[in-house]
Structure 1
Amino acid sequence: MQLETYISDLLYRYECVTIPEFGAFLTQRTSATLDDATNSFYPPKKMVSFNEQIQKNDGLLTHYIADLEKIPYEVASEKIAKRVNSIKSYLTQGETVTFKNIGDITFNVEGKILFEPIYQLNYLTDSFGLSQLVSPKVSREVYKEEVEAIEKVIPLTITPEKRKAKPYFKYAAVALIALTLGGLVSSRYYIEQIEKHNQIAQEKAFQQLDAKIEQATFNLNPLPAITLNVTKQSGNYHVIAGAFRVEDNCELIISQLKAQGFNARTIGVNKYGLHEVVYGSYETAEEALQILHSIRKTHNEDAWLLVKDLDLVN
């Protein structure tokens, strides 16, 4: 009977496998380790140890052997006892008993069991497929010492004549710093203006919800229609015609606006759950404000401007 094979199978699933009247193999999970001497990385694993004080039969090993060999429990128990007697006989004679893929067991001078684990097999199933990794040593300090040694032999200096001959390095550095600071200030100012404009526009739209949007209608002023050559459908500046809770109402409004010469469309749902319809979208703020002014004057005085990057939202 290959007792060590059965024990090895059980060590994958259990932390304690007891051999009745002999002792127990125990496993304990350890984290990944690094051997500085060999630059080797070891994955997490189960460390195997042996405790001869645990000898009471818990039935785990016996039931496992009985199920695999299709024999009664009592017969399996007798086979284990016979194997244990054989192991003890070898140990008494000073021999080493090897449990394959587990470890070696011997008696010391006091007659106590000594166990030396074998690391050929990792019983931690979470680390299946992970192996030892050896990485070349990175010698950063060595390179630093070499540079310091070179500097001592050949000092790096800049004479006053060289500094006078190439003054443009100083001006180039100053210009680079100025451009960087200017770009940061401009970018920050632009972002703050967009956020401020969005907040004001959204608050105004929210205040008009109960009066206009809940009815899911869109009333156009009885003013003369205007014809605008609006072809652009890209850009972050959107002239809003209205916001509607019922999406079907958007199609009716879009059809009316297109009939009047606008490139109307929807740009999605805002944070209030309303579908927004735009007269059009524009690349620059100047163009959008010009269109908005004309629409408010001759078509819809409640139109407003929304600044939003639709690509970021999508």
Structure 2
Amino acid sequence: MTLAKYISDLLYRYECVIIPNFGGFVTNEISAKVNHYTHTFYAPSKQLTFNSHLQNNDGLLANYIAASQNISYSKALEFISKETEQWKFLLKNNELDIENIGSLRLNKEGNYIFEPNTSVNYLTSSFGFSTFNSPAIKRMEYQQKVKQLKTIAPVLPTNENKTPAFIKYAASAAIIFALGTLGWNEYQKITYNNLVAEAEQQQQQVEKTIQEATFVINNPLPAITLNVTKQTYNYHVIAGAFRESINAEKKLKELLEKGYNAKILGVNKWNLTQVCYLSTNSKNEAINTLNSIKKSVSKDAWLLVKEY
């Protein structure tokens, strides 16, 4: 499998996939939309972008390749490095087409220009949905047809001196029905107004009872003032940064079981949750710990410095 295939697989499950020393592909979910000019409907999807500043290895891509190919983590990093070197070489003079992801090229200033592949939808909840066109509804044509229809009234026999009996009965029935309807509506209004008045009276009684109730505490407890100083640290030896918080918690548990004074630092500006081996205000302690961890535990550990 090519590196592009592994990246594509991960984009279905994660919002960000970082290629160490190259850049990161980031997805943002967008809702369904319609083009009113072409009458085209588009399903919800993930909008794919490229950020060349995301170069620090978070372990996601390398671990996935190692598990898929049944190789070591270091071998997976070598595989990624070789692929990205070929990409950089091609980008010097040509446009790089990454399968199912998009195309990359360099502009005159040496910046990456990314064009995403819109034929692939990485939003799994939209699986099976496709773009479709709907013909426009011709409302004006239907309105004109309605206007052409004419109501034909029945022609009754006329008699200047005598009104037919059935018309008299129909008119009488209509008058009686109208009077009955008016009477029923009036009765409903009176009943509703009575219910509203009764509810307002009950509410006023409840408010009066609450206002009359007085609670007095003769011996209130004295106020307590606590002076708490937040502990801050300037140096953090980072074990990893994770897109999914559950992975960060697993890493934290692993480090705590090994005896490290580990903790979760929170979410950084790239929306990644950082986990550290150690936090300290001593620069020497941080550097010594980092060197020790790089030699015996993980070469991917790095030092984060925060100035407060």
TM-score (norm: length of structure 1)? 0.49
TM-score (norm: length of structure 2)? 0.50
